[in-house]
């Protein structure tokens, strides 16, 4: 098996067209990743076959069912580490990357040997800032907020476009597979920081991110997984986890009902009530 310095890991779930578009873009980057692993997370639409035919040079890992983001990402990361990668570049399929994306991320991460991961400036299609790398978490209220201005505290980096140092992964472990979808990147960053690793931002790397496109921004399913991940994280880290969860749920419900987004409320309550019964 040939060693690869930088391995990109791309997750696929019933979205072959987006994966293929992203892989086409990766081939044009300067520099491009040395190797690409596509993890198909139990797609039911033949996505893995379409991707393999379009890009036979890439490694395809097929899971038998949708195992969630953390588990699928870990299968790709394991392949990258087996190749001796120094860096693992985790990528969502809902991104538009600048040609210098990988170079910018790597330059930011290599500025300090204790930088365990580097994130990009995520933007909307109109160029407005969605998140400068990631966000911050209030352990008392359960609120997670994107960082949008320079100088704000940043507790974690988004896994949507995230360069991970292999040495950090070997030190802290991979994503916690107890998280199905959402909050796994927050958990990893908190564990990394607790172990003495730092977070880097590639301020010159602006990536368009169509956030929430796979499940729908206001869908029942999306908010179910968001609140399920939040509840698990708060149980492990918040001073008063139940209080923080309830506070966040009530604030979310009031806001969503005011805007008529009942599905978002239903999903959040389903997660919290179901979590309390487990």
Mean pLDDT of 78-87: 96
Helix (H) or strand (E) holding 23: helix 16-26
Taking the C-alpha atoms of residue 73 and residue 261, their distance in angstroms, rounded to an integer, is: 30
State the CB neighbour count (10 A cutoff) for residue 60: 17
Greater confidence, 138 or 4?
138
Confidence of residue 216 (pLDDT cuts 50, 70, 90): confident
Q: Does domain 6-209 have CATH number 3.90.550.10?
A: yes
Domain regions of the chain by residue span: 6-209, 220-277
Q: How does the average pLDDT of the chain come out, rounded?
A: 92
Determine how many CB atoms are found less than 10 A away from the CB of residue 18: 20
Q: Give residue for tokens 């499940």.
A: 215
Distance CA 232, CA 65 (A): 23
Q: Are 162 and 186 in contact (CB under 8 A)?
A: no
pLDDT band at residue 211 using 50, 70 and 90 as cut-offs: low
Tell me the C-alpha distance between 152 and 130, whole Å: 14
Phi, psi for 91 (deg, rounded to 5):
-135, 130
DSSP state of 12: E
Confidence (pLDDT) at 7: 97
Q: Tokens 């040997």 map to which residue?
A: 113
**Predicted TM-score (pTM) of this structure:** 0.93
Q: What is the pLDDT of residue 274?
A: 73
**Is 123 strand, coil or helix?**
strand
Residues above pLDDT 70, as percent of the chain: 96
In 3-state terms, the chain is what percent helix, strand and coil (to 5)?
Answer: 40, 25, 35
Q: What percent of the chain has pLDDT over 90?
A: 81
Task: Give kind and range of the element (H or E) at residue 184.
Answer: helix 184-194
Q: Tell me the per-residue pLDDT of 84-131, one tens digit each, with 9 for 90 and over.
A: 999 999 999 989 999 999 999 999 999 999 999 999 999 999 999 999
Amino acid 198: pLDDT: 98
Supply angle C-alpha 144, 94, 187, rounded to 5. 35
């Amino acid at each position: 098996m040939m060693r690869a310095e930088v391995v990109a890991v791309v997750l696929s779930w019933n979205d072959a067209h987006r994966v293929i578009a992203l892989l086409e873009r990766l081939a044009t980057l300067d520099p491009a990743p040395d190797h690409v692993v596509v993890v198909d997370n139990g797609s039911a639409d033949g996505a893995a076959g379409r991707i393999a035919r379009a890009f036979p040079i890439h490694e395809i890992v097929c899971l038998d069912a949708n195992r969630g983001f953390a588990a699928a990402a870990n299968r790709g990361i394991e392949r990258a580490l087996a190749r001796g990668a120094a860096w693992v570049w985790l990528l969502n399929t809902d991104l538009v990357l600048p040609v210098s994306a990988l170079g910018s991320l790597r330059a930011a991460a290599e500025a300090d040997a204790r930088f365990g991961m580097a994130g990009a400036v995520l933007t909307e299609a109109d160029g407005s800032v969605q998140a400068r790398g990631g966000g911050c978490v209030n352990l008392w209220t359960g609120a997670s907020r994107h960082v949008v201005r320079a100088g704000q505290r940043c507790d974690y980096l988004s896994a949507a476009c995230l360069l991970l140092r292999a040495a950090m992964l070997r030190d802290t472990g991979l994503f916690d597979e107890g998280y199905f979808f959402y909050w796994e990147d927050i958990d990893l960053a908190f564990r990394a920081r607790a172990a003495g690793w730092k977070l880097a931002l590639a301020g010159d790397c602006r990536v368009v991110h169509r956030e929430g496109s796979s499940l729908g921004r206001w869908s029942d399913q999306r908010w179910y997984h968001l609140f399920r991940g939040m509840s698990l994280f708060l149980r492990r880290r918040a001073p008063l986890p139940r209080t923080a969860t309830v506070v966040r749920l009530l604030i979310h419900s009031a806001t969503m009902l005011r805007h008529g987004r009942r599905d978002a409320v239903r999903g959040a309550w389903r997660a919290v009530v179901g979590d309390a019964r487990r």
